[in-house]
Amino acid sequence: MHPASANAARPARRPTTSREVVVTAREQITEHMLRLTLGGDDDLAPVVHGTPGSWVKLFVPDPGDPSRAGEHGRAYTVRGFNPISNEIDIDVFLHDGGTMPRWAESCAVGETARVGGPRPSGAPGRDAASMLLFGDETSMPAIAAILERERGHRPIHAWIELADDADRQEITLSRGAGITWLRREPAAPGTALLEAAAQQRPEPGTGVWFAAEAGAAQRFRGLVRGLDLADLHVQGYWRAGVGDYRE
């Protein structure tokens, strides 16, 4: 077993391309989660990466640009892709003060946007004997996609930190899979995840995947440093107080 390095499981990037999309459906799936279905005439297969939890960059008209020529682009997980209907589902977490949530809440069926991809996810490696996943509202779509692709051949457990219990989702679980729901301390995103992670003693050969607030991701790296893991993916999906955060 080789010592894992951060992002070791991340697949190679293919050149990205962009496609115009049309909002074909909207569904409020939980209190703060809005599912948008995006389709249109352009073939979306080239912008979707096959790994569960892969993502696209969603570009919408920049509300701060009165000419409407500018775009606001952010990363969103492909929650589902239907190649027959040529549609992707994206779950937008409606956090306070966000531009993308504001657009998502106000957009109508028929409205256009743009997606760029494919972008792989750093999905948990096939070779890990067991998997530990840690995330929050923004990575719940990725965690759900990962859990739904498991075949019941290894133990896999997810810890998901939410600000509001009303955002829990029904996620299909294979044999050996489980979820622990954690409640967020308002002032400290990721703290409950770090506390849960600190109680785990991963066996050699375990794979670990973490995606949540960037400060918590940084502290998480300290927790797993030196462990003999099959693979490790740690990513900040957003940073408190910083717009358009990227790693």
Ligand X SMILES: Cc1cc2nc3c(=O)[nH]c(=O)nc-3n(C[C@H](O)[C@H](O)[C@H](O)COP(=O)(O)OP(=O)(O)OC[C@H]3O[C@@H](n4cnc5c(N)ncnc54)[C@H](O)[C@@H]3O)c2cc1C
Task: Choose, by CB under 6 A, the member of 138, 145, 177, 217 that binds ligand X.
Answer: 138
Task: Choose, by CB under 6 A, the member of 77, 135, 177, 206 that binds ligand X.
Answer: 77
Task: Choose, by CB under 6 A, the member of 59, 81, 93, 210 that binds ligand X.
Answer: 93
Q: At what angle do helices 214-224 and 191-198 cross, to 10 degrees?
A: 10
Q: Does 238 bind ligand X (CB under 6 A)?
A: yes
Q: Which CB, 202 or 213, lies closer to ligand X?
A: 213
User: If you count DSSP H runs as helices and E runs as strands, how many of each does the chain have, helices first?
Assistant: 4, 12
- Binding segment toward ligand X, per CB under 6 A, in 89-97, 110-118, 148-156, 178-186: 89-97
Q: Does 165 bind ligand X (CB under 6 A)?
A: no
Contact of 217 with 211, CB cutoff 8 Å? yes
Task: Dig out the tokens for 75 from the structure.
Answer: 């990363």
Q: Does 97 bind ligand X (CB under 6 A)?
A: yes
Task: Choose, by CB under 6 A, the member of 14, 95, 126, 225 that binds ligand X.
Answer: 95
CA atoms within 13 A on the CB side of 140: 26
Cα angle 137, 140, 144 (rounded to 5 degrees) comes to: 160
Cβ burial of 225 (10 Å; 0-12, 13-18, 19+) is exposed
Residue 167 CA to residue 78 CA, distance in Å, equals 18
- Binding segment toward ligand X, per CB under 6 A, in 2-10, 24-32, 173-181, 232-240: 232-240
Decide the pairing of beta strands 112-119 and 130-135: unpaired
> Which residues from 49-68 bind ligand X, rule CB under 6 A?
55
Q: Does 210 bind ligand X (CB under 6 A)?
A: no
- Binding segment toward ligand X, per CB under 6 A, in 4-12, 75-83, 105-113, 173-181: 75-83
Helix/strand/coil for 196: helix
Q: How many residues bind ligand X (CB under 6 A)?
A: 25
Q: Does 74 bind ligand X (CB under 6 A)?
A: yes
Which residue is it, tokens 């622990």? 180
Provide the binding-site residues for ligand X, judged by CB under 6 A.
Answer: 55, 74-77, 91-93, 95, 97-101, 137-138, 141, 237-244
